[in-house]
Amino acid sequence: MRVVSLANLKGGSAKSTTTFNLAGALTEQGYRVLCIDLDPQKTLGEAFFGVYAGHETLSSVLINDSLLDATIQSTAFERLEIIPADDGLKGIKSGQTQLEGGELRLRSCLMRLKSLVSANGHSKVDWILIDCPPSLDRLTMNALAASDYVLIPVDPGAGGRGALGDTMQYVYSAQKWYNPTLKVLGLAISNTDPRTIYDQTTEQVVRDMYGDLVFKAVITASVRIREAAEMQVPLVYCPGGEFTRYANMYRALRDEILERVS
């Protein structure tokens, strides 16, 4: 079981979109994937997958330090499950809900999930993908403290590069204080138009700054990606040849990820 957080301080950097489509690309290869929507905006669970929190919620599990099993819900796709976000996460995010060891609650829950898997002798989940809120707060630190890797979707424009620096510093803090084994899996350039000189230049600036950390695969901006999310279908499962080009971008990202973790 590998746990990957998708994090970036900047809103609109395609964290939820990347989580959604990467999850689909991994299940297409036969992997079993659990997504965790840790963002109180609930985009991944409600808007993208059409799945709503049930009686047992993620926030209550974090508050009570209890088992995650009852919060896991099925999606319309085989081998793909999700823990949807709920309104109670807002209190944890803002600090209004006081928790002892608050930054380590998700890690504690996932460790118990891993131990149950190990005790059974086989893994129910191959990958856990955590969609983080667009802020560097207690929820994001929970995700980083619980993860093996962090994947950072990047808008290469000026604002995106500024937020990227802050995000990297936050990752270093997580490594120092909570999770020394956390690794940066890579930076995934998204929402770019390689036909423009500006986007070509800004992409090259990011590659010059971060070198091999930047994935070769690039996700270009397209209405097809938005349409797939609106249909609540990951691109790799969208019918119609007009989606194939963009599905292949996420397949390329998936393949690079599998190569890096192996």
pLDDT digits (tens, 9 = 90+) for 62-104: 999 889 999 999 999 999 999 999 999 998 887 766 677 788 9
Buried b (16+ CB within 10 A) or exposed e, 92-105: bbeeebebeebbbb
pLDDT score at 252? 98
pLDDT score at 157? 77
CB 138 within 8 A of CB 63: no
Longest dimension (CA), the chain: 54
Looking at the chain, the whole-number percentage of residues with pLDDT higher than 90 is: 77
For the segment 15-40, the average pLDDT, to the nearest whole number, is 97
pLDDT category, 156, cuts 50, 70, 90?
Answer: confident
Q: Which of 12-21, 109-118, 220-229, 251-260 has the lowest mean pLDDT?
A: 109-118
pLDDT score at 230? 97
pLDDT category, 29, cuts 50, 70, 90?
Answer: very high
User: Residue 72 carries which DSSP code?
Assistant: -
Q: Per-residue pLDDT tens for 106-142?
A: 999 998 887 765 556 566 899 999 999 998 889 999 9
For the segment 19-24, the average pLDDT, to the nearest whole number, is 98
CB atoms within 10 A of CB 148: 16
For the segment 21-35, the average pLDDT, to the nearest whole number, is 97
Flag whether pLDDT at 229 surpasses 70: yes
The residue among 27 and 160 whose pLDDT is bigger is 27
Provide CB contacts within 8 A for 168, sequence distance 6+. 152, 184
Residues 21, 246: Cα–Cα separation, whole Å: 10
pLDDT score at 53? 95
Mean pLDDT, the chain, rounded, equals: 92
Q: For the full predicted model, state whether its pTM sits above 0.85.
A: yes
Q: What would the two tokens of residue 180 be?
A: 């020394």
Looking at the chain, the whole-number percentage of residues with pLDDT higher than 70 is: 96
